[in-house]
């Protein structure tokens, strides 16, 4: 099912690019996200069952095509959204991310110049309570999100999916901003979601769990984030990032052990 956005087009000619995003109950963050890509000719939103005002907000924006589709996992769901894109170039964005004006200009310029590359990468600023987390392994967060449709696709990972492209990738100077965490409980909710999906993915890959492995990897994850990646310089936020990340590793491996025992 698809709905067309009703608002008028901006005076500026839209960039010939398809923006794709997958969403579930994104009313709290999706408006700034859509506003930041309003320069795109097409915005494809694939919703997996929102019960809030996500659809109402999305369809008020120009160029938005809103689809309902059952959840397939992060990689497969994004590939479904990719299949709906009608332009040569694609920008993948999440509902809690924002393209800065400087990055938008770089993307537009790169596409207009039609350079001999298959994708564009840039750095992402991850925020907690709208403040940039500069350490803890969160920066620099280099990501590939813009690519030619015929040269790239998402891998089939259920979580932590990424774009795989066939060709040269150009690095841009601009940044994307990521507003995923505003409260301590946001870390817990995302940790549970990612760890559960990660455990299932590891099981499919034939990975083993175990109590000792869980303890060792949990400790290693904390040390890496808080000490090696200098999370202590981020103050209380750095500690929150390190602890929640370590707990996520512990939960993922323990859940993997239980999934393996079910066989």
CB 136 within 8 Å of CB 229: yes
Give the tens place of pLDDT for each residue, 151-164.
999 998 878 889 99
pLDDT confidence of residue 11: 40
Of 262 and 216, the one with more pLDDT: 216
The dotted CATH code for 2-181 is: 3.90.550.10
Q: How far apart are CA 107 and CA 75, in angstroms?
A: 23
- Segment (H or E) for 78: helix 74-83
| Domain ranges across the chain | 2-181, 184-261
Q: How far apart are CA 221 and CA 240, in angstroms?
A: 13
Pairing of β 89-92 and β 15-23: parallel
Place 8 in a pLDDT band, splitting at 50, 70 and 90: very low
Q: How far apart are CA 24 and CA 212, in angstroms?
A: 36
pLDDT confidence of residue 189: 87
Give the tens place of pLDDT for each residue, 107-141.
999 998 877 899 999 999 999 999 999 999 999 99
Least confident segment among 4-8, 101-105, 157-161, 176-180: 4-8
Q: How far apart are CA 263 and CA 150, in angstroms?
A: 40
Average pLDDT of the segment spanning 178-201: 89
Q: How far apart are CA 153 and CA 81, in angstroms?
A: 11
CB 19 within 8 Å of CB 71: no
On average, the pLDDT of the chain sits at 92
């Amino acid at each position: 099912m698809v709905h067309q956005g009703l608002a008028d087009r901006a005076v500026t000619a839209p960039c010939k690019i398809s923006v794709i995003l997958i969403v579930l109950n994104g009313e709290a963050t999706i408006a700034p996200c859509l506003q930041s890509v309003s320069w795109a000719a097409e915005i494809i939103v694939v919703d997996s069952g929102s019960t809030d005002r996500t659809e109402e907000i999305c369809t008020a924006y120009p160029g938005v095509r809103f689809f309902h589709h059952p959840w397939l996992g992060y990689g497969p769901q994004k590939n479904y959204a990719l299949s709906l894109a009608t332009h040569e170039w694609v920008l993948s964005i999440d509902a809690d991310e924002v393209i800065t004006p400087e990055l938008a200009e770089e993307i537009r310029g790169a596409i207009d110049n039609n350079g001999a590359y298959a994708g564009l990468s840039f750095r992402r600023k991850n925020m907690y309570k709208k403040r940039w987390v500069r350490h803890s392994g969160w920066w620099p967060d280099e990501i590939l999100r813009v690519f030619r449709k015929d040269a790239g696709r998402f891998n089939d990972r259920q979580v932590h999916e990424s774009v795989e492209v066939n060709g040269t990738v150009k690095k841009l100077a601009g940044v994307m901003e990521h507003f995923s965490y505003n409260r301590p409980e946001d870390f817990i909710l995302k940790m549970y979601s990612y760890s559960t999906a990660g455990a299932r993915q590891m099981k499919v890959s034939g990975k083993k769990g175990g109590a000792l492995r869980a303890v060792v990897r949990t400790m290693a994850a904390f040390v890496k984030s808080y000490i090696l990646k200098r999370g202590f310089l981020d103050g209380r936020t750095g500690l929150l990032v390190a602890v929640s990340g370590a707990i996520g590793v512990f939960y993922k491996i323990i859940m993997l052990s239980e999934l393996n025992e079910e066989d």
